[in-house]
């Protein structure tokens, strides 16, 4: 949680959600990141690690540039196996798409039943957009918008729906 919280002040700008790659890294709380990494290292020395340690390892890898997408995908796969969480599988698709392209991620997303989960539609929309499938991406952004509950959650898909080239 420390590594996630370290980015808190950079997650929203001008009332809009800011994707991690667009966040100002200079504003991240380095003391929290260091403490989180220290706690993660201590947890990794134990014989058994649970889902929280896997999640912390994933969060730590997301702080690095460039990201180690194969390791992130492997950790999400381990987390999905351990927890049975389709959300962990959904998050793995993002890493798979970074490694093998958006169509590979979309193939996995197509096997998941997360139709009422807003972030499923956001992830799907982004992969469809990256694959050049604009009409389908618009539909997925609209579904994400319909399920969004907060202002910043609504503004991101709204912006994608109104940006130039999003029609069609």
CA nearest 13: which of 150, 148, 152?
Answer: 152
Say what the pLDDT of residue 101 is: 98
Residues 165 and 135 occupy one common structural domain: yes
Say what the pLDDT of residue 166 is: 62
Number of domains forming the structure of the chain:
3
Q: Which domain holds residue 88?
A: 68-113
| Residue for token pair 């702080």 | 63
Residues 106 and 119 occupy one common structural domain: no
123 in a domain, yes or no?
yes
Q: How far apart are CA 52 and CA 63, in angstroms?
A: 17
What's the rounded mean pLDDT across residues 125-150?
Answer: 95
Residues 85 and 132 occupy one common structural domain: no
Residues 106 and 125 occupy one common structural domain: no
pTM to 2 decimal places? 0.88
Encode pLDDT of 47-72 as tens digits. Answer: 888 999 999 999 999 999 999 999 99
Say what the pLDDT of residue 86 is: 96
124 in a domain, yes or no?
yes
Residues 74 and 44 occupy one common structural domain: no
Residues 100 and 121 occupy one common structural domain: no
Residues 122 and 158 occupy one common structural domain: yes
Residues 40 and 15 occupy one common structural domain: yes
Angle (deg, nearest 10), helices 151-162 and 118-130:
20
Q: How far apart are CA 59 and CA 64, in angstroms?
A: 9
Sign of CA dihedral 18, 21, 22, 23: positive
Residues 119 and 109 occupy one common structural domain: no
CA nearest 83: which of 113, 53, 44?
Answer: 53
Say what the pLDDT of residue 151 is: 84
Residues 83 and 123 occupy one common structural domain: no
Residues 40 and 79 occupy one common structural domain: no
Helices (H), the chain: 2-5, 30-44, 51-62, 69-83, 86-100, 102-109, 118-130, 134-147, 151-162
58 in a domain, yes or no?
no
**At residue 159, does pLDDT exceed 90?**
no
59 in a domain, yes or no?
no
61-66 long-range CB contacts below 8 Å, 24 or more apart? 62/20, 63/3, 63/6, 63/28, 63/33
- Which helix (H) or strand (E) segment is 12 a member of? strand 12-13
Say what the pLDDT of residue 127 is: 97
43 in a domain, yes or no?
yes
- Percentage of residues of the chain with pLDDT beyond 90: 78
**At residue 168, does pLDDT exceed 60?**
no
**At residue 10, does pLDDT exceed 70?**
yes
Residues 82 and 123 occupy one common structural domain: no
What's the rounded mean pLDDT across residues 39-46?
Answer: 93
Cα–Cα–Cα angle for 97, 136, 145, rounded to 5 degrees: 90
């Amino acid at each position: 949680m420390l590594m996630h919280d370290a980015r808190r002040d950079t997650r929203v700008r001008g009332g809009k959600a800011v994707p991690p790659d667009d966040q100002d890294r200079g504003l991240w709380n380095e003391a929290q990141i260091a403490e989180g990494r220290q706690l993660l290292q201590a947890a990794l020395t134990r014989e058994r690690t649970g889902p929280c340690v896997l999640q912390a390892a994933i969060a730590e890898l997301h702080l690095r540039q460039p990201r180690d997408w194969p390791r992130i995908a492997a950790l999400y796969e381990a987390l999905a196996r351990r927890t049975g969480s389709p959300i962990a599988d959904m998050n793995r698709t993002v890493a798979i798409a970074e490694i093998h392209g958006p169509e590979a991620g979309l193939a996995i997303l197509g096997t998941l039943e997360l139709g009422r989960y807003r972030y499923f539609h956001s992830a799907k929309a982004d992969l469809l957009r990256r694959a050049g499938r604009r009409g389908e991406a618009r539909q997925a952004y609209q579904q994400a918008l319909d399920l969004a509950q907060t202002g910043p959650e609504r503004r991101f898909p709204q912006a994608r729906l109104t940006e130039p080239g999003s029609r069609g």
